[in-house]
């Protein structure tokens, strides 16, 4: 069973949606492992724009029979049903039948969204710089309650014992104790309980909640034990089933149903709770580790399959929304950059149309940072890269790439991508750049490697050599077809 994992390699918004859309065409199962409706991407098919936040984008392909929201996710039910409704209105078929939620995923309540707003406001009132700049979708508070063992799982929600309501009341009481009732005066607990009861009925009636582990385990056959050698991977499903039987294992019922699994990352590595620019991160494991905790049953050994891959999506420059360090940031709002560099940042923002899909916020922009991308490759073990938005650089006379960081105070080179974010605060950092001559030729819509300008090829080949991972796809425009495949 080949598994393709698509992960954001920088701070999100790398343009994962397009590759996911392309790969979805051959996937019969698409899974989200972590995060909530803080993620967002837009897919344009036949002139219709579809927005995805919590739903897996396999829904766009009618033959993608199962779209799973895994145990590592937090699900805001009003948003889940609203998104399903929007996809139906745009004509997508059987979306409700093709989506399932793990019974171990957490319920993200409106209470969490309210608390997200309150905690940001508290940070802002102390010092605006310490705000995380969250999406205010309740992600941090919901994951905090999960880890604090106070949360509500989908299994609790659909159980007849009614404990979900008691737990929600306790959460409300605790938050009221922490922040005071005035802070939560705009939140209506009884209304949320009433709404949740309706959503609960809908979840039960529509059979949305499943035990995902046996299913994921079955998709690669018998807990992944039997079909793990490359020779067995070469076998047809029938042959593999016979091998399993001869080993005394039972072939998984339904294993033939899911011939290709696509795992769609949400957010991106530098927002990972453990490996990102903490505390300016989201609250889930957005990297490779999160895939296997969020989708238990999926064997890591499935990556041995010759057609499996871990694809890192790298934007040809860098963007970030929200607060936090950003070594290569440019733009007129950034302190200590030359007028020319400030202009380049503003150009990247406007040519790249860098506004958030989920929040509509203007994204911060800067040059490609290879220190960061190399770190991302180390953490996520990418086997291939998708380089995106190359065409945004078409008009630039010069293009720069960050090669290393130096501590401005000591002049010392900083090794790797540091955990201590003070080291990468702009005022403490000097960046060693390599400058490339721009190709100044339109590449939008190019589909063949040979048709790219030589200077663009040199830029891509340089990145590939530096990070040591092949760049298989190069995005050259917003449409599905605007992609060079090597
Ligand atoms: P939260 O995930 O809403 O808690 O936000 C934490 C940080 O992650 C903020 O800086 C957000 O802007 C950022 N963030 C969360 N999800 C995404 C995403 O999908 N793309 C880009 N930034 C994101």
Task: Tell how far the Cα of 326 is from the centroid of ligand 1, in angstroms.
Answer: 14
Closest ligand 1 atom to the C-alpha of 323?
10
Task: Tell how far the Cα of 314 is from the centroid of ligand 1, in angstroms.
Answer: 17
Q: Considering only CA atoms, which of 469, 403, 470 is closest in space to residue 436? A: 403
> By alpha-carbon position, which residue is closest to atom 8 of ligand 1?
282
- With H, G, I as helix, E, B as strand and everything else as coil, classify residue 160: coil
- 221-225 long-range contacts (CB < 8 A, ≥24 apart) are 221/1, 221/249, 221/251, 221/252, 221/255, 222/249, 222/250, 222/251, 222/252, 223/297, 223/299, 224/298, 224/299, 224/301, 224/302, 225/249, 225/299
Residues enclosing ligand 1, CB less than 6 A? 11-13, 38-40, 132-135, 137, 139-140, 267, 271, 282-283, 321-322
Averaged pLDDT for residues 118-132? 89
pLDDT at 311 over 50: yes
Tokens of 167: 């737990």
CA 290 to chain centre: 11
Task: Tell how far the Cα of 308 is from the centroid of ligand 1, in angstroms.
Answer: 28
Question: Average pLDDT, whole number, for the chain?
Answer: 90
CA 301 to chain centre: 22
Task: Tell how far the Cα of 254 is from the centroid of ligand 1, in angstroms.
Answer: 36
- With H, G, I as helix, E, B as strand and everything else as coil, classify residue 362: strand
Residue 370 backbone phi and psi in degrees, to 5? -75, -20
Averaged pLDDT for residues 138-164? 97
Closest ligand 1 atom to the C-alpha of 136?
3
The catalytic site residues sit at 13, 41
Contact predicate 295/265, CB 8 Å: no
Averaged pLDDT for residues 109-138? 92
Best substitution site from 128, 132, 135, 315 to test ligand 1's pocket, by max atoms within 8 Å of Cβ? 135
> By alpha-carbon position, which residue is closest to atom 20 of ligand 1?
12
CA 208 to chain centre: 22
pLDDT digits (tens, 9 = 90+) for 433-462: 999 999 999 999 999 999 999 999 999 999
Contact predicate 252/218, CB 8 Å: yes
C-alpha distances in Å from residue 187, one per residue of 137, 157, 192: 14, 20, 9
pLDDT for the residue 253? 43
Query: Residue 328 contacts by C-beta under 8 Å, 6 or more apart in sequence?
Result: 318, 366, 367, 368, 369, 402, 431
> By alpha-carbon position, which residue is closest to atom 17 of ligand 1?
267
- 85-90 long-range contacts (CB < 8 A, ≥24 apart) are 86/51, 87/50, 87/55, 87/59, 90/48, 90/50
Tokens of 302: 């499935």
pLDDT for the residue 249? 45
pLDDT for the residue 257? 54
pLDDT for the residue 227? 38
Closest ligand 1 atom to the C-alpha of 321?
12
> By alpha-carbon position, which residue is closest to atom 9 of ligand 1?
134
Task: Tell how far the Cα of 358 is from the centroid of ligand 1, in angstroms.
Answer: 9
Torsion sign, CA atoms 375, 381, 385, 389: negative
pLDDT for the residue 235? 41
pLDDT for the residue 256? 47
Best substitution site from 32, 33, 36, 267 to test ligand 1's pocket, by max atoms within 8 Å of Cβ? 267
pLDDT digits (tens, 9 = 90+) for 201-259: 999 999 999 999 998 987 754 444 433 333 433 444 444 444 444 544 444 444 445 67
Q: How far apart are the first and last CA of the chain?
A: 23
Closest ligand 1 atom to the C-alpha of 39?
19
pLDDT at 414 over 90: yes
> By alpha-carbon position, which residue is closest to atom 1 of ligand 1?
134
pLDDT at 160 over 80: yes
Closest ligand 1 atom to the C-alpha of 266?
19
Closest ligand 1 atom to the C-alpha of 134?
5
Contact predicate 398/415, CB 8 Å: no
Residue 176 backbone phi and psi in degrees, to 5? -65, -40
Tokens of 232: 């067995």
Task: State how beta strands 471-475 and 483-485 pair.
Answer: antiparallel
Best substitution site from 322, 355, 364 to test ligand 1's pocket, by max atoms within 8 Å of Cβ? 322
Closest ligand 1 atom to the C-alpha of 140?
4
Task: Tell how far the Cα of 138 is from the centroid of ligand 1, in angstroms.
Answer: 11
Task: Tell how far the Cα of 370 is from the centroid of ligand 1, in angstroms.
Answer: 22
pLDDT digits (tens, 9 = 90+) for 267-302: 999 999 999 999 999 999 999 999 999 999 999 999
Residues 373 and 311: their CA atoms lie apart, in Å, by 13
Q: Which residues pair with 432 in a beta bridge?
A: 404
pLDDT digits (tens, 9 = 90+) for 338-385: 888 888 999 999 999 998 766 778 999 999 999 999 999 999 999 999
pLDDT digits (tens, 9 = 90+) for 44-60: 788 888 889 999 999 99
> By alpha-carbon position, which residue is closest to atom 11 of ligand 1?
134
C-alpha distances in Å from residue 227, one per residue of 5, 164, 237, 251, 447: 19, 40, 10, 10, 36
pLDDT for the residue 391? 97
Averaged pLDDT for residues 25-39? 94
Q: pTM here?
A: 0.91
Query: Residue 49 contacts by C-beta under 8 Å, 6 or more apart in sequence?
Result: 42, 43
Query: Residue 184 contacts by C-beta under 8 Å, 6 or more apart in sequence?
Result: 114, 115, 118, 172, 175, 176
**Unique residue bearing structure tokens 């409706």:** 37
- With H, G, I as helix, E, B as strand and everything else as coil, classify residue 230: helix
Label residue 1 by pLDDT band (50, 70, 90).
confident
Task: Tell how far the Cα of 11 is from the centroid of ligand 1, in angstroms.
Answer: 8
Tokens of 472: 């298989």
Best substitution site from 271, 355, 357, 361 to test ligand 1's pocket, by max atoms within 8 Å of Cβ? 271
Residues 107 and 76: their CA atoms lie apart, in Å, by 6
| 470 compared with 251, residue with greater pLDDT | 470
> What is the CB neighbour count within 10 angstroms for residue 458?
14
């Amino acid at each position: 069973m080949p598994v393709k994992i698509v992960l954001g390699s920088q701070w999100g918004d790398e343009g994962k949606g397009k590759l996911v859309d392309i790969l979805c065409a051959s996937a019969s199962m698409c899974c989200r492992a972590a995060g909530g409706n803080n993620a967002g991407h837009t897919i344009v098919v036949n002139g219709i724009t579809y927005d995805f936040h919590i739903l897996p984008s396999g829904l766009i392909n009618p033959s993608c029979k199962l779209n799973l929201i895994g145990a590592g996710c937090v699900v805001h039910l009003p948003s889940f049903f609203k998104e399903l409704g929007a996809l139906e209105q745009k004509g997508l078929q059987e979306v409700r039948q093709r989506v399932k939620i793990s019974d171990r995923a957490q319920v993200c309540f409106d209470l969490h969204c309210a608390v997200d707003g309150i905690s940001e406001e508290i940070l802002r009132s102390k010092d605006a710089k310490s705000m995380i700049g969250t999406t205010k979708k309740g992600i941090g508070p919901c994951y905090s309650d999960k880890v604090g063992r106070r949360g509500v799982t989908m299994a609790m929600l659909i159980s007849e014992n009614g404990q979900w309501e008691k737990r929600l009341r306790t959460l409300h009481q605790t938050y009221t104790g922490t922040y005071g009732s005035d802070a939560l005066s705009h939140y209506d607990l009884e209304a949320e309980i009433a709404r949740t009861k309706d959503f609960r009925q809908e979840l039960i009636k529509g059979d949305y909640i499943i035990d995902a582990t046996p299913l994921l385990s079955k998709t690669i056959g018998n807990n992944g034990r039997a079909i793990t050698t490359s020779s067995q991977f070469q076998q047809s499903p029938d042959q593999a089933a016979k091998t399993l039987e001869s080993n005394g294992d039972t072939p998984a019922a339904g294993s033939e149903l899911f011939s290709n699994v696509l795992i769609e990352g949400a957010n991106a590595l530098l927002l990972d709770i453990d490996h990102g620019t903490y505390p300016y991160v989201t609250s889930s494991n957005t990297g490779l580790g999160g895939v296997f905790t969020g989708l238990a049953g999926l064997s890591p050994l499935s990556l041995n399959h010759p057609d499996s891959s871990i694809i890192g999506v790298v934007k040809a420059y860098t963007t970030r929304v929200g607060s936090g360090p950003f070594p290569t940031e440019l733009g007129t709002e950034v302190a200590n950059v030359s007028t020319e560099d400030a202009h380049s940042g503003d150009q990247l923002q406007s040519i790249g149309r860098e506004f958030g899909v989920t929040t509509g916020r203007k994204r911060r922009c800067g040059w490609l940072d290879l220190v960061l991308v190399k770190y991302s490759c180390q953490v996520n073990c990418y086997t291939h890269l998708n380089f995106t938005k190359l065409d945004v650089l078409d008009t630039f006379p010069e293009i720069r790439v960050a090669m290393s960081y130096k501590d401005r105070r000591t002049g010392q080179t900083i090794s790797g991508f540091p955990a201590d974010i003070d080291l990468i605060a702009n005022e403490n950092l000097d960046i060693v750049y390599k400058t490339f001559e721009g190709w100044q030729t339109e590449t939008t819509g190019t589909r063949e490697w040979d048709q790219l300008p030589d200077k663009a090829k040199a830029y891509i080949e340089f990145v590939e050599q530096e990070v040591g991972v092949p760049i298989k796809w190069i995005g050259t425009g917003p449409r599905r077809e605007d992609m060079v495949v090597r």
